[in-house]
Chain A
Amino acid sequence: MTNPIEPDPMTDEAIAWAVRVGDPAFDDWEGFERWLSADPAHAAAYHAASAAEAEMVALLAAEPKARPLPDPAPAPVARPAWRRWTIPAAAALAAAVVGTVAVERQMRPSAPLVYETAAGAHRTVALADGSSAILNGATRLEASGDDARSLTLVHGQATFTVRHDEAHPFRVAVGGASVVDVGTRFDIVRDARETRIAVSEGAVDWQRDGNSVRLNAGRSLRVADGSSQVELADVAPDTVGGWAQGQLSFDGVSLAEAAADLSRTLGTAVAVDAALAHRPVRATVRLDGGAARVMPRFAALTGLRAIRDGAGWRLAASP
């Protein structure tokens, strides 16, 4: 019952198929069927390998939750460069790590690291320099392979908590500009053609084409691509990055922007009637209960109606 599976050709074949079939772009279904049909044991081997692998992936997916207890004696673990490649592994693995450092050197040093989330998902990324970023849904953040303190927010939303280092500033490239920290916790939203930044602690400099704007805690900035007009506004510092704490705050943004934030956070499409798109929204909405609870809650707070629209939602005027 507990004999370890010896490496055998059929298991290897099953694993090779599991890898191929596991790619979303896989399209050789008839070839796969031919292999399965060739021997009834093939299907059993494929099912067993896939199930075992899926179980391991499920364990890994629960990684942060699986370590709820802080290490009683947090040994100062050196952060070797390769750790950039992984979600922080358990400190217990430090021994296993030693053997792998050499391999990293053979890798292309400049390949960017990409952190990506699906709509509705959150992910905390520990950066090699001790800073961290929390990614909201539908977000893509890239780190340069050479410098963990140089990031690009391609799209979506992320809240950064930065370990400040005067000599080596932390930089996020976004929408053709740079955001440079001055000791900081801040949030960036990158939509198709617009960037929004809000600062809750410390300050950041937003820099583009030699111009610079200093944003202190409690201030936010909004700029459209290519526009020379930069809008500055106040923001309640404790609401910045609130989506990571289970609430979303809207402080006078347009309903269209609020809908994009809701969509990214909830992982569902949120459409807005065109006539309402520019209406300003001031509300803080709790995010528990999923879209089915949040959308009616948001609508009630803003005097709108939330209507199911196919797989997503639509915000319309009250009757």
Chain B
Amino acid sequence: MATGLEGVFLQHRAQLLRFLQSHGAGEAAEDLLQEVWLRAARAQAGPIAQPLAYLYRVANNLMLDRHRSQRQAAIRERDWSDATGATAPGRSDEPAGERVLIARETLTQVQATLAALGPRVEQTFRRHRLDGVPQRQIAEELGVSISTVESDLRKATSALVKLRSTWDEG
């Protein structure tokens, strides 16, 4: 069953390896490529229409996950050093309990940031990122061009990335 996907994987091995390297995989690239194959084979349910695009997608997600877990590890380490007395400059010393309350405040900020961009941008972003609707379909639903959808998504993403960067965390 997996021979189709496996065939495509083996045929495009070098290309996928290059892609991982462009993501900054460095010396881990070979190991990560193995991980791509394991993930792809595990998740496969039924035939895949575009096997190469699917493998690229898996590789891309793997690199994003890797970045996230490396970052979280760094944050944990920093929080630990904060907890042991070293106050980082520019950071408030808030006990963990207060951060829970702050979570609600942050959601309000995210909602306000999206709402401030206008209903079409907000709707487009929510449909795409929360409901998983493809961009072309959103364009049809809202009666706008696909480039409008893309530009709305860029606006929303940009505003959220900016908001994120103002929060107190490295």
Residues of A within 8 A of B (CB): 1-5, 7, 11-12, 15-16, 18-27, 29-30, 33, 36-37, 40, 43-44, 47-57, 59-63, 66-67, 82, 85-87, 89-90, 92-93, 96-97, 99-100, 103-104, 107-108, 111-116, 118, 310-311
Kindly state whether residue B136 has any CB partner on chain A within 8 Å.
yes
Whether the pair A18, B157 counts as a contact (CB closer than 8 A) is yes
| A16, chain B: closest CB distance, angstroms | 6
In the complex, the answer to whether B133 meets A116 with C-beta atoms within 8 Å is: yes
Query: CB distance B153 to A100 under 8 Å?
Result: no
Shortest C-beta distance, A102 to chain B (Å), equals 9
Residues of A within 8 A of B169 (CB): 2
- Chain A residues in 8 Å Cβ range of B52: 29
* Complex Cα gap A112–B137 (Å): 12
Complex: how many Å from CA A92 to CA B113? 13
Which of A4, A67, A111, A114 contacts B162, CB < 8 Å?
A4
List the B side residues contacting A33 at CB < 8 Å: 18-19, 22
In the complex, which residues of chain B have a beta carbon less than 8 angstroms from the beta carbon of A85?
119-120, 122-123
Tell whether B4 is near chain A: CB-to-CB under 8 Å: no
1/0 per residue, CB under 8 A from A, across B8-22: the answer is 000000010011011
Is B34 located at the chain interface by the 8 A CB criterion? no
Chain B residues with a Cβ closer than 8 Å to the other chain, count: 68
CB pair B24 A44 closer than 8 Å: yes
A-B contact pairs, 18 of them (CB 8 A): A2-B168, A15-B157, A27-B50, A29-B53, A36-B22, A37-B18, A47-B23, A49-B157, A52-B161, A54-B64, A59-B110, A60-B126, A66-B107, A86-B123, A89-B111, A89-B115, A107-B119, A107-B120
A278 to nearest B CB, angstroms?
A: 27
In the docked arrangement, what's the CA distance between A112 and B142, Å? 8
A103–B122 Cα distance when bound, in Å, is 12
Chain A residues with CB under 8 Å of B23's CB are 36, 43, 47
B128 to chain A, nearest CB (A): 7
Residues B154 and A116 in contact, CB atoms below 8 Å apart: no
* CB proximity to A under 8 Å, residues B124-158: 126-136, 141-143, 150, 153-154, 157-158
Please give, as numbers and ranges, the residues of chain A lying within 8 Å of B131 by CB-CB distance. Answer: 115-116
**Contact at B115–A55, with CB atoms within 8 Å?**
no
With contact pairs A2-B168, A36-B23, A112-B141 given, residues A25 and B157 touching in the complex (Cβ less than 8 Å): no
Say whether, besides A4-B166, A40-B24, A57 and B119 are in contact (CB < 8 Å). no
In the bound complex, residues from chain A placing their C-beta under 8 Å from that of B114 are 60
**B160 in contact with A111 (CB, 8 Å):** no
Q: Specify the chain B residue showing the minimal Cβ separation from A112.
A: B141
CB pair A55–B142 under 8 Å, yes or no, is: no
Q: How far is the CA of A96 from the CA of B23 in the complex (A)?
A: 39
| Shortest Cβ gap from A4 to chain B (Å) | 5
Judging by beta carbons under 8 Å apart, are A12 and B122 in contact?
Answer: no
Residues of A within 8 A of B165 (CB): 3-5, 52
Report whether B134 and A311 are in contact in the complex, using a CB–CB cutoff of 8 Å.
no
B150 contacts across to A, CB distance below 8 A: 19-20
